[in-house]
Amino acid sequence: MIDFQGVTKTFGELQVLKGVDGHVDKGEVVALIGPSGSGKSTLLRCLNYLCPFDGGTVKVGGVELRPGLDERRDAALLRQARLQAGMVFQHFYLFPHLTVLGNVIEAPVAVKGMSRDEASAKALALLDRVGLKHKADARPAQLSGGQQQRVAIARALCMEPNALLLDEPTSALDPELVGEVLETLTDLAKSGQTMLIVTHEMRFARKVGRTVWVFDEGRILERGPVDQVFDSPKEERTRAFLAHSPGAQAPARP
């Protein structure tokens, strides 16, 4: 579904990504964890070229991205790639002047040329799936943070992407609101939705992720199944990071 090789990214004199390789299979849910500033969010944004990378290649659903693409000259290619991988941001970025339904149907109508009736039917089904059909006529300001994030997830899904890229989907939420977003993403994972999720919430990574990538200083330091990485990490740096991360330890059995 997603494959990338040798991806590098530099901001000024700071090399943020140092030749990162990886792939995400169809239906796989990958949690990206690691210290702040290690390159997790930058990689996620490189995968659909919201952040142009300097070296390497990225393939998303068979669409190949490379360094040097231009938003105008290569608009058709970039559009094709971004239709393959939907993005969910930390701060929701809902349009405040549109209703919940309006936010969800905006891109399918404007970008994919879907009729408003078809887009509305699809959007209402997705809002029902995330438990917010009854809020279809509300404005974002009338919703809690958790509800806004669930609308953002429905908005991304309405474009029918093959994969979802989620950048810290719970970090802007109050602790009591994290659970409702976690429940939504758990449901998506069970349905076979391919997801790549950047998170600092270790309990969240344990619950939703099937595979974990541990980032450190611009590289993937360690990767593997959730239980193996969390309970038996191979790298000393991983062990040190998890030891200082609340929720990284396995929950106590009753």
250 inside domain: no
pLDDT, one tens digit per residue, over 109-122 is 998 899 999 999 99
* Stretch among 38-47, 92-101, 241-250 having the lowest mean pLDDT: 241-250
Q: Residues of 82-119 as b/e, b for ≥16 C-beta within 10 angstroms?
A: bbbbbbbbbebebeeeebbbbbbbbbbbeeeebeeeeb
Q: Whole-prediction pTM value?
A: 0.89
Helix 116-129 crosses helix 145-157 at what angle (to 10 degrees)? Answer: 130
Residue 144 within any structural domain of the chain: yes
Q: Do 6 and 220 form a contact (C-beta atoms < 8 A)?
A: no
d(CA 130, CA 147): 9
- Return the ∠ at Cα 53 (arms to 49 and 28), rounded to 5°: 60
In a domain, 193, yes or no: yes
CB of 159 closer than 8 Å to CB of 147: no
Regarding predicted confidence, which is higher, 204 or 231?
Answer: 231
Please indicate, yes or no, if residue 65 is contained in any of the structural domains: yes
> How far apart are alpha carbons 138 and 153 in whole angstroms?
16
What's the pLDDT at 154?
94
Residue 250 pLDDT level (bands cut at 50, 70, 90): low
CA dihedral 31, 208, 175, 102 (to 10 degrees): 90
Query: Is residue 164 over pLDDT 60?
Result: yes
For residue 251, the model assigns a pLDDT of 55
Provide the domain limits for residue 16: 2-243
Q: Decide if pLDDT at 150 tops 80.
A: yes
Split into its structural domains, the chain has a count of 1
Domain annotation covers residue 249: no
The string of pLDDT tens digits covering residues 128-147 is 999 999 999 999 999 999 89
Q: Determine the residue type at 111.
A: V
User: What is the residue-averaged pLDDT of the chain?
Assistant: 91
Q: Is residue 251 part of a domain?
A: no
Neighbours of 186 (CB within 10 A): 14
Q: What is the CATH number of the domain that holds 131?
A: 3.40.50.300
Inter-helix orientation angle 145-157/100-110, to 10°? 20
